[in-house]
Amino acid sequence: MYPCSAVYGEEFTAHDMDISRENRARIENALAHLPDYVFRHRPVTALISDLERVHDRRHIRMIEEFSSYGGLHYIDMDTYVTGDSFKTALLAAGSSILACCRALDGEHCFALVRPPGHHAEPDRAMGFCLFNNAAVAAAWALEKVDRVAIIDWDLHHGNGTQKIFYGSDRVLFCSIHQSNAFPGTGWIDEIGEGRGRGFSLNAPVLPGGTIDDYAYVFSEVFAEAISHFSPDLLIISAGQDTLLDDPMEGMRLLPRDFAVLTRILMEAHDNPLALVLEGGYGPSLGDSVAAVFHALHGEPVKMPFGNPRESTITTVTHLKKVMI
């Protein structure tokens, strides 16, 4: 059994706007539920060169400039920048790299960071996301290992992560998300292009999905893809906005269900996992983070025995036809 740790700090409360769902209360909720056995790492700052592996230099400069103005600036109706945002976003990206570094050194590690990142594209911030933390970390890891897999279980499709690695055969990207939800991407036929064809797998699930639907996709598709791809590192874009009490109101997962998803991935990948916090805005966010750590710590996990919906079975059938 591998040790498990978290990367976090009070610094992640600095980028904040009370009226936004993506505010400091999210990280405070998660930290309040950390089990005592979790070792704590201090956050670290990413270098500009770390960001430049996946982001255009003009995009990085734009976020830095907006933040330097102080006050509050909107990039779109959801995505804001304050005077603290650039520094905080650098810490989020750097701490995601640290989580991967710890995983490669033999330790499960969860980067409890904000702002989230999986919607951020090479030249665009969107959906609360300024820089793509998981992609920055994966690009860093690819300078040390051959293959990286990214599993995204957020309610929304990780369009930015997919776009960054869409032409790569060194990154396997698997996303399960609510169909027809923001940002309107992540369909089954989005499988990659060029050398990356077959290395993107998208499982759009109809609203109201439960752990029976999620576990079926994970067991039948994602675990098999991971086994075949045999990555040196597995990163989880761990959004918790699929919870029943989340204001996004799309899925019906319970906190304990994240232990199930974590355990499936642990069994599919022999090495430690790196996790990066994405969405999650409801009161049980902290409980779901704790459930992830319980699975990582080796505590018993009750696996589901229910049946997935016919629509999910159909999605899996189609996905199996496009798998590598």
Delimit the domains of the chain by residue range. 4-322
Handedness of CA 141, 109, 42, 30 (dihedral sign): positive
φ, ψ (nearest 5 deg) of residue 87: -60, -40
Report the distance separating Cα 263 and Cα 130, nearest Å.
30
Query: If you compute the radius of gyration of the chain from its CA atoms, what whole number of angstroms results?
Result: 18
For the record, the structure tokens of 259 come out as: 């232990």
> Closest Cα partner for 93 from 188, 15, 193, 24?
15
User: How many Cβ atoms are within 10 Å of 42's Cβ, its own excluded?
Assistant: 11
User: At which residue do the structure tokens 């992640």 appear?
Assistant: 12
Catalytic annotation present for 73 = no
pTM of structure? 0.98
> For each successive 10 residues of the chain (324 residues), what is the average pLDDT?
95 89 93 96 98 98 96 93 97 98 98 98 98 99 98 98 98 98 97 98 98 98 98 98 96 98 97 98 98 98 95 97 83
| H helix or E strand, kind and range, residue 64 | helix 57-68
CB 266 within 8 A of CB 223: no
Distance from the Cα of residue 252 to its chain's centroid: 18
pLDDT at 315: 98
Q: 59, 118, 119, 156: which is the annotated catalytic residue?
A: 119
Report the distance separating Cα 219 and Cα 169, nearest Å.
22
pLDDT at 18: 81
From the options 3.40.800.20, 3.30.70.260, 3.40.640.10, 3.90.1150.10, give the CATH code of 4-322: 3.40.800.20
